[in-house]
Amino acid sequence: MLHLSVTELAAELSRGAFSSVELTRACLDRIRQRNPRLNAFITVCEESALAEAAGADRARARGDTRPLLGIPLAHKDIFCTRGLPTTCGSRMLRHFLPPYDAGVVEKLREAGAVLLGKTNMDEFAMGSSNETSFFGPVCNPHDPDKVPGGSSGGSAAAVAGGLCPMATGTDTGGSIRQPASFCGITGFKPSYGRVSRWGMIAFASSLDQAGTLTRTAADAALMMQAMAGLDPRDSTSVDRPVEDYAGEAGVSLRGLRVGVPLPHFTEGLSAGVEQGVRAALGELEKAGAELIDIDLPNNYLSVPAYYVVAPAEASANLSRYDGVRYGYRCEEPKDLEDLYTRTRSEGFGEEVKRRILVGTYALSAGYYDAYYVKAQRIRRLIRRDFARAFAKVDVIAGPTSPHVAFAHGAKADPVEMYLEDIFTIAVNLAGLPAISVPAGHDRGLPFGLHIIGPDFSEARVLGVAHQFQQLTDWHLQLPRDTHLSPTSPGHPPFRTPEDTHHSRNAREGAS
């Protein structure tokens, strides 16, 4: 049952092929077996998952037919979960137990999904390889020597590795779509404001958006149906009706105008990926879509603009981690200055510190206009480029990432790592919905097709992706388990909530 999509699982559960408890137990067994190698989960909550599954089975017996009822789910460890550790991949929040649930967590719980645990991620979502996590790197289920992408690498690896059928992620500059591309699954980022950010730990507030990691676009539609909607606790969440995402999956490719962005097929794109993506576009064309070359003239400015805006916002968002009220605190601070300096030096990893410094610099007196103000101007230009393109086309399609997954440690230069998101970042700067769907393999590793839609065209983007998946079977090609034999016996497969409860009083400095 672990190879089934959410849609298929829902059908099997409803016809009684197996129970949610059986399905959940199968996932937990799989996690126990695979997680030591993949490191996809930071925390697994077996007990509460089985209890929730039993509850779902009872509800089903009473006639409850909600589509996500009893389906196992993993949350990226950036979503606050009441009483369950929420680390954001950082030592700073290693023992943080939120007294509240994120909006997304509430909604998926209300939809009846069963929470298996919390997935690994780049620290504070800052990274494109899942190597910046305090809890160690995540491995790509297709090849454990390779990275799964980031920052939602744990969620992507968990879904690709068959540890769970669906997971949440967040996408600030490509953090759902790039790992989906690297792991051969479907990753969807909705329009900014479509899903509540309440309880989702902030990296860059004006760019962060919650989304889904699933095997298929139809699964993403099911999750989105539960997650989308206005949340009065998030002032940037949007008050507009939620479309019927699954219903729009019936959208036709015939006559669909697909924009092919020239800048996405130039420099830096590997030959294998280019070939594969052109073949995928060819599939759309064969189904009746019209391919139209478009230009996004300011796209080349998106990475530099992003690396001003995102660190600037992050530098303020991460100021609250000061050792005063919760989270990591250094040992025996001499005075206030020492408390701040050592808490933050010891509690944050290198990449987080680098971005705080960059952001602080960009906002400093005398530099603000040259950096922050200019970056905001570029942001408007990028939005305008997209608006002009969408006057001519219905969706834009191209590669998600310039290449397939790379080896751990292969990109030591931060700027090289930043260029990972060259095709995805502009979408965040413009606040648009976009999806990455599996579109081929290059040297045995998957890559994705990136489909971008105009503001709040979630249904269209999901529909086009679904149609593409009716024509292709890349999304069904799961990694072979031969890569995943468990290693290092005796090493615990994951943390349990109790680990955190017990070690809360342990001295931090020793770790």
Partner 1 sequence: MEWETVIGLEVHVQLSTRSKLFSGTSTAFGAAPNSQANIYDLAMPGTLPVLNGEALRMAVRFGLAIGAEISRKSVFDRKNYFYPDLPKGYQTSQLEFPTVGRGSIVIHLDDGSEKEIGVTRAHMEEDAGKSLHEEFATDSGIDLNRAGTPLLEIVSEPDLRSAGEAVAYLKKLHSIVRYLDISDGDMSQGSMRCDANVSIRRPGAELGARTEIKNVNSFRFVEKAIHYEVRRQQDVLEDGGTIVQETRLYDSVRDETRPMRGKEVANDYRYFPEPDLLPVVIDEELIEQVRAELPELPDARRQRLREKFGLSDYDAGVLTASREVADYFEQTASACGDAKLAANWVSVELRGLLNRENLSIADSPISATCLAGLICRIKDGTISGKIAKTVFEHLADGEASVDEIIEKEGLRQVTDTREIENLVAQVIAENAPQAQQYRDGRQQVLGYLVGQAMKLSRGKANPAQVNQLLRDKLQP
What are the catalytic residues? 76, 151, 175
Span from 108-116, 221-229, 234-242, 462-470 in contact with partner 1 (CB under 8 A):
234-242
- Which of 41, 182, 188, 198: binder of partner 1 (CB under 8 A)? 198
* Binding mask of the shown chain, residues 54 to 83, with x at each position contacting partner 1 by CB under 8 A: -------------------------xx---
Nearest in space to 45 (alpha carbons), one of 91, 90, 109, 92: 109
Span from 125-133, 203-211, 377-385, 459-467 in contact with partner 1 (CB under 8 A):
203-211
Distance between CA atoms of residues 267 and 259, nearest Å = 19
Burial 73-91 (b: 16+ CB within 10 A, else e): bbbbbbbbbeebbbbbbbb
Q: Which is nearer to partner 1, 99 or 250 (CB)?
A: 99
CA 84 from chain centre, in angstroms, equals 20
- Which of 18, 100, 265, 418: binder of partner 1 (CB under 8 A)? 100
Q: Please say whether the dihedral angle defined by the alpha carbons of residues 224, 217, 60 and 160, taken in this order, is positive or negative.
A: negative
Cis? peptide before 151, omega within 30° of 0: yes
Q: In the bound complex, what is the minimum distance in angstroms from residue 5's beta carbon to partner 1?
A: 30
Q: What is the DSSP letter of 123?
A: G
- Which of 316, 381, 419, 478: binder of partner 1 (CB under 8 A)? 316
Q: What is the DSSP letter of 230?
A: -
CA 239 from chain centre, in angstroms, equals 24
Contact assessment for residue 125 and residue 203, using Cβ atoms and an 8 Å cutoff: yes
* Binding mask of the shown chain, residues 364 to 403, with x at each position contacting partner 1 by CB under 8 A: xx--x---x-------------------------------
Span from 258-266, 319-327, 418-426, 465-473 in contact with partner 1 (CB under 8 A):
319-327
Q: Decide if residue 306 touches partner 1 (CB under 8 A).
A: no
Q: Decide if residue 197 touches partner 1 (CB under 8 A).
A: yes
Which structure tokens are listed for 390?
């969408």
Distance between CA atoms of residues 277 and 449, nearest Å = 6
Span from 25-33, 199-207, 246-254, 501-509 in contact with partner 1 (CB under 8 A):
199-207
Q: Decide if residue 349 touches partner 1 (CB under 8 A).
A: no
Where do we find the tokens 């992507």?
A: 156
- Which of 13, 35, 53, 96: binder of partner 1 (CB under 8 A)? 96
- Which of 72, 85, 89, 98: binder of partner 1 (CB under 8 A)? 98
Q: Which is nearer to partner 1, 235 or 511 (CB)?
A: 235
Q: Please say whether the dihedral angle defined by the alpha carbons of residues 183, 186, 192 and 196, taken in this order, is positive or negative.
A: negative
- Which of 324, 370, 387, 407: binder of partner 1 (CB under 8 A)? 324
- Which of 63, 99, 489, 490: binder of partner 1 (CB under 8 A)? 99
Residues near partner 1 (CB under 8 A), total? 43
Which structure tokens are listed for 239?
């008050």
Distance between CA atoms of residues 438 and 99, nearest Å = 38
Span from 137-145, 197-205, 220-228, 409-417 in contact with partner 1 (CB under 8 A):
197-205
Q: In the bound complex, what is the minimum distance in angstroms from residue 212's beta carbon to partner 1?
A: 19
Q: Decide if residue 315 touches partner 1 (CB under 8 A).
A: yes
What spatial distance separates the first Cα and last Cα of the chain, rounded to whole Å? 39
Q: In the bound complex, what is the minimum distance in angstroms from residue 473's beta carbon to partner 1?
A: 38
- Sheet strands (E) in 243-301: 257-261, 290-294
- Sheet strands (E) in 185-289: 186-189, 209-214, 257-261
- Which of 77, 122, 313, 394: binder of partner 1 (CB under 8 A)? 313
Helical H segments across 132-270, by residue range? 153-160, 177-183, 217-227
Consecutive H or E run containing 20: helix 20-38
Binding residues for partner 1, rule: CB under 8 A, are 79-80, 86, 88, 93, 96, 98-100, 102, 197-202, 204-206, 232-236, 312-313, 315-316, 318-320, 322, 324-326, 336, 340, 360, 363-365, 368, 372
